Amino acid sequence: MKRRDFLAASCAAGLGAVTAGAMAQDAQPRQRGARGQTGTRPQGQAAARPQGQARDIYELKQYKCASAEQARGVDAFLEKAMIPALNRLGIEQVGVFHERQAVAEPTIYVLLRHRSARTVTTTTASLLQDETYLADGAAFLDAGNENRPYQRIESSLLLAFEGMRQLEAPSKKDTRVFQLRIYESPTVKTGQKKIEMFNVGEIDIFRKTGLNPVFFGEAITGTKIPNLTYMLGFDDAAAQDKAWQTFVKHPEWLALRAKPEYADKKILCGITNILLKPASYSQI
């Protein structure tokens, strides 16, 4: 066995051990809800949890750039080289997002949806064997330290929640906007309590109030661990504001948050809120 293949297989086995319990449970036959398949869900429509579906693994990358010029280079590389190559590997629905407010040192967010742990560990090697990818991305891939195409890449690996096992694309409108939120917890146990809170009711309340989920994921690797990360999608900024106003007054949410075991002061120690818009070539 080649060393590269051995390492990939070993990493996949290690990641598989992390998710084995969830995947084994997913493999058991269960009754599906009305939808049963992943796809676009009409906004505001509640549905049974998608039990019986395998749980996605998400890779959330952040390309940290020193200037708008660097960010334009990253965009060109992603659009012309990387996303087509990822699609050829079967990694589809690649999301690319920019911060809504212009900043001097922009960050570009890239969301990859993996159907299995193996593609997490083999994607880089597969890309580097793709001659079209290497040719289309040559200027970016072969850049040296003197003309770095970005400052740094930060990455998190996330396991989809039991209550929302697969990615959804709530809106396809040109005016659509997104919201990325990261909830940090003081311990792993309290982090699991917040995940439980979403699974037993909060995700459903989100749907009822127009807070349209794209994904929910528990951080396996990355920074600010333990944390959960989720993304919401809206037709436009006005729809986002309206949905949050509806949510905070909803009687089911008020009842859920009033339970002592779900008190924020017990299970949360930090919240990061990031407002995003999709790149013109984003597949989400």
pLDDT at residue 131 greater than cutoff 60: yes
Instruction: Give 53's pLDDT tier (boundaries 50, 70, 90).
Output: confident
Residue 23 lies in a domain: no
138's CB contacts (< 8 A; 6+ apart) are none
Residue 36 lies in a domain: no
Output the 3-class SS for 59-73. Answer: EEEEEECCCHHHHHH
| CATH number for position 208 | 3.30.70.100
Residue 21 lies in a domain: no
Residue 26 lies in a domain: no
Q: What are 196-231's pLDDT values in tens digits?
A: 999 999 999 999 999 999 999 999 999 999 999 999
d(CA 277, CA 108): 10
- Burial class (CB within 10 angstroms; exposed 0-12, middle 13-18, buried 19+) of 170: buried
Residue 220 lies in a domain: yes
Residue 118 lies in a domain: yes
Residue 37 lies in a domain: no
% of the chain exceeding 70 in pLDDT: 82
User: What are the counts of helices (DSSP H) followed by strands (DSSP E) for the chain?
Assistant: 11, 8
Contact 50, 32 (CB under 8 A): yes
Contact 116, 20 (CB under 8 A): no
The tally of domains found in the chain comes to 1
Q: Which domain holds residue 186?
A: 3-15+53-278
- For 52, the token pair is 């019986």
pLDDT at 52 (0 to 100): 65
In three-state secondary structure terms, 215 is strand
Residue 35 lies in a domain: no
Q: What are 1-46's pLDDT values in tens digits?
A: 444 444 444 444 445 544 444 444 444 433 333 333 344 444 433 3
% of the chain exceeding 90 in pLDDT: 81
pLDDT at 3 (0 to 100): 44
When mean pLDDT is compared across 18-22, 99-103, 217-221, 237-241, the lowest value belongs to 18-22
- Identity of residue 169: A
Reported residue count of the chain is: 284
